[in-house]
């Protein structure tokens, strides 16, 4: 049944929120102050029409908006959008009784994302490559994307053809594309076991199309050139499917904040180090101990260091920090700590950091809720929160990156 609603505010996922009978109704693509009609189902409703639009409503940047599930909020004017994104971090901190000014959002330009996690599916009508439709498992073929680097969008036909070659299943599968300095790194998973014929065809096509590397379920099928990324003075070849910051400009901002905070630290522990985004830049000024649970990522970091010049010593340790965090006694050997965990955060590790006397800590997170929880632990352990900077690495989505910098008076050892 279609009902008339008035939107009170934006929710944490970018939905318009209606306050109704002590509860809330969430209406995607509606803005605060708007009067809309929508078809309600429990606590959600599908937008039918906007009767009284907000003066902050603008035309979306992409024709796929509202159909494709990749973006949540292209229809809000820029300053209001930035205020909302910054507010996601501010509200998470407030919920943990953390009173610190949150800096203005560091903007992310369109056409800058170098990493795309596509869904692909082979059907009777051909191979479909794109993103899932909003709130469904229906696949939307992508013809344009103002978030991605133009080089990825321009290669859509090549990527779609490659996905069609390797598809040995009728089920949807993941098709991860990363634009590196030496070409596209393509990592497919759950596309079915490749036959010898598929391997030969995929190899020939990848070489012809100048794909740097193609891997399936972690196995390298062909690698004409190594995918390469530059981290400061080091060049790294990440393993197939490895985590890479989505936007190079955002990565640069994060690195600048973190390295600036660690400028007085002679020895730094980089926890959840990945392939070395921070460790290899920090090594220009400090000795670094990089700790990571992913063996191939850690090996890539180590190779990058060994082939670089002009860096201070970098040591590596493979360790599952969720199950076995570094103890406060181990941490006290360092002057600085950097941690950039997955979305679940670093609760147990932060309990150990809080007990340490390490003077400088930098926390990097893509989840404001777990960041706030972890910062609360550190503050309760005697750390002073100096700054929190939100970074719009995930343009037009409800995700936001943040860097928090903390200090503790150094004890005599």
Active site residues: 366
Kindly write down the DSSP assignment for every residue of 298-316, as one continuous string. HHHHHHHHHT-SSPPPEEE
240 alpha-carbon distance from chain centroid: 17
The single-letter DSSP state of residue 148 is: B
- Which stretches does DSSP call E strand in 42-75? 44-52
- The 3-state DSSP class for residue 377 equals helix
Are 57 and 39 in contact by the 8 Å Cβ rule? The answer is no
Q: Are strands 213-216 and 183-189 parallel, antiparallel or unpaired?
A: parallel
Are 129 and 154 in contact by the 8 Å Cβ rule? The answer is no
Dihedral sign from CA coordinates of 89, 93, 94, 96: positive
Q: What angle do CA 317, 282, 256 make, to 5 degrees?
A: 135
- Which stretches does DSSP call E strand in 172-258? 173-180, 183-189, 213-216, 219-222, 229-231, 234-236
**Quick one: which of 66, 171, 161 has its CA closest to 119?**
171
Whole-number Å distance between alpha carbons of 411 and 349: 20
Taking each helix axis as running N to C, give the angle between helix 347-355 and helix 368-380, from 0 to 180 degrees, rounded to the nearest 10.
20
Are 240 and 218 in contact by the 8 Å Cβ rule? The answer is yes
Kindly write down the DSSP assignment for every residue of 325-372, as one continuous string. PPPHHHHTT-SEEEE---TT--HHHHHHHHHS--SEEEEEES-HHHHH
- The 3-state DSSP class for residue 82 equals helix
**What is the token pair recorded at 247?**
């936007």
Element (H, E) at 85: helix 78-95
């Amino acid at each position: 049944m279609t009902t008339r609603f008035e939107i009170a505010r934006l929710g944490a996922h970018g939905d318009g929120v209606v306050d109704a009978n002590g509860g809330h109704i969430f209406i995607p693509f509606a803005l605060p102050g708007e009067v809309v009609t929508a078809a309600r189902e429990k606590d959600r409703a599908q937008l039918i029409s906007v009767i009284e639009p907000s003066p902050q409503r603008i035309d979306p940047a992409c024709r796929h908006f509202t159909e494709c599930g990749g973006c949540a909020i292209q229809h809000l004017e820029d300053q209001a959008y930035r205020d909302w994104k910054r507010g996601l971090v501010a509200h998470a901190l407030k919920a943990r009784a953390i009173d610190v000014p949150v800096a203005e959002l560091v903007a992310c330009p369109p056409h800058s994302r170098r990493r795309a996690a596509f869904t692909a599916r082979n059907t009777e009508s051909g191979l479909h490559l794109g993103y899932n439709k909003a709130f469904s498992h229906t696949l939307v073929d992508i013809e344009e994307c103002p978030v991605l680097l133009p080089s990825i969008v321009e290669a859509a036909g090549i990527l779609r053809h490659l996905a069609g070659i390797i598809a040995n299943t009728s089920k949807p599968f993941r098709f991860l594309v990363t634009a590196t300095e030496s070409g596209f790194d393509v990592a497919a998973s759950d596309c079915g076991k490749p036959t010898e014929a598929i391997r030969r065809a995929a190899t020939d096509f990848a070489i012809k199309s100048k794909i740097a590397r193609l891997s399936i379920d972690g196995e390298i099928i062909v690698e004409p050139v190594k995918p390469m990324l530059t981290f400061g003075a080091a060049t790294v070849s990440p393993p197939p499917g490895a985590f890479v910051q989505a936007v190079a400009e955002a990565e640069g901002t994060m690195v600048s904040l973190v390295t600036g905070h660690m400028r007085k630290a002679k020895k730094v522990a980089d926890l959840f180090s990945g392939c070395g985004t921070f460790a290899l830049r920090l090594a220009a000024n400090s000795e670094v101990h990089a700790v990571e649970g992913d063996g191939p990522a850690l090996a890539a970091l180590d190779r990058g260091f060994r082939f670089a010049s002009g860096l201070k010593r970098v040591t590596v340790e493979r360790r599952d920090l969720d199950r076995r965090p570094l103890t406060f006694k181990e941490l006290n050997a360092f002057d600085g700590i950097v941690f950039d965990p997955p979305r679940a955060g670093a609760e147990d590790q932060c309990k150990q950091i809080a007990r340490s006397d390490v003077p400088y800590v930098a926390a990097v997170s893509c989840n404001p809720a777990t960041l706030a929880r972890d910062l609360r632990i550190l503050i309760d352990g005697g750390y002073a929160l100096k700054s929190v900077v939100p970074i719009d690495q995930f343009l037009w989505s409800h995700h936001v990156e943040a860097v928090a910098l903390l200090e503790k008076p150094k004890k005599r050892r």
